Copies of this chain bind each other. A is one copy, B any other.
């Protein structure tokens, strides 16, 4: 059985034909989103891309992982910061009318946790907390096998949990959200803020200051790099310990670009979380780096179809 996953981003969208059995991607293509051409044009090109990747193969449905606030029962994008004209946009219905197949839409962070459950580190788990550390920090939770979305489908905003009440200003207007410290954007900001005090840091020898450069510098013993990584680890540890106390999950999966830092992030994070959780929680969970890497988006989107029980 095949399903289609569409990973919708502000600049590009990716479409993949996925084998539901093992998550193998038979074919995938990437296209520019071109938001400026208007939402109907975007949907048309999405439909065209689905026809291309599925050519010659039967498939049961399409899942779309979209940024923003999604009414997932109706497949409606309520609003999405990078898509100004997508207000109460019936994305699912439009796409479905082009393709004559069921189309399901879910917030991209929720799609990520579904992808981990069906094809990634969360296979066989009924209690999963997932975080994506990218431009922002997204969160998705499966508890008792149920995707937790809340009354209006806007829940599990794990990136906007406050972990440093007097911490840095977040894009949402609050101070000290996890996203304001542990996103790629925040890491870059903290590096630039540190330039005056640490002008000799190797971070500023790089062509472009970004999260990868900061982690590389920390690995080389660079003082500013280490200071920033410490802060990221502390904030993430408080967040993750809170999520463990709240959801008592069997696994915490961390993905997104920042997670590719690997051991320099995960080793101190695991240690710190172990220290922060109450004794009864020790040994009840594991913390892992997402194994899905760059296909996480497509696989997550494809999983939406499977989670809805389409056969």
Contacts and interface: CB of A to CB of B under 8 A. Distances in A.
A144 B158 CA distance: 18
Interface residues of A, number: 43
Given A246-B161, A276-B174, A127 B156 contact: no
Contacts of A127: 150-151
A293 interface: no
Interface string A151-163: 1111111101111
A154 B281 contact: yes
Contacts of A153: 248
A157 B164 CA distance: 19
Interface stretch (A2-10, A193-201, A237-245): A237-245
Nearest to A281: B154
Interface in A143-190: 143-144, 146, 148-158, 160-165, 172-174
Contact of A248 (B150, B172, B234): B150
Interface of A, helix, strand, loop or mixed by DSSP:
loop
Contacts of A59: none
Interface string A104-122: 0000000000000000000
A280 interface: yes
Contact of A172 (B69, B173, B174, B278): B278
Interface in A181-234: 234
A238 B155 contact: no
A154 B173 CA distance: 33
A154 B69 contact: no
Nearest to A235: B165
Nearest to A167: B165
A146 B143 contact: yes
A89 to B, nearest CB: 16
Contact of A278 (B126, B146, B150, B160): B160
Interface of A: 69, 79, 126-127, 141, 143-144, 146, 148-158, 160-165, 172-174, 234, 238, 241-242, 245-250, 276, 278, 280-281, 284
Of all A-B residue pairs in the complex, the 10 with the closest CB atoms, nearest first, are: A150-B248, A155-B248, A157-B245, A127-B151, A161-B242, A151-B250, A160-B245, A172-B278, A154-B248, A162-B238
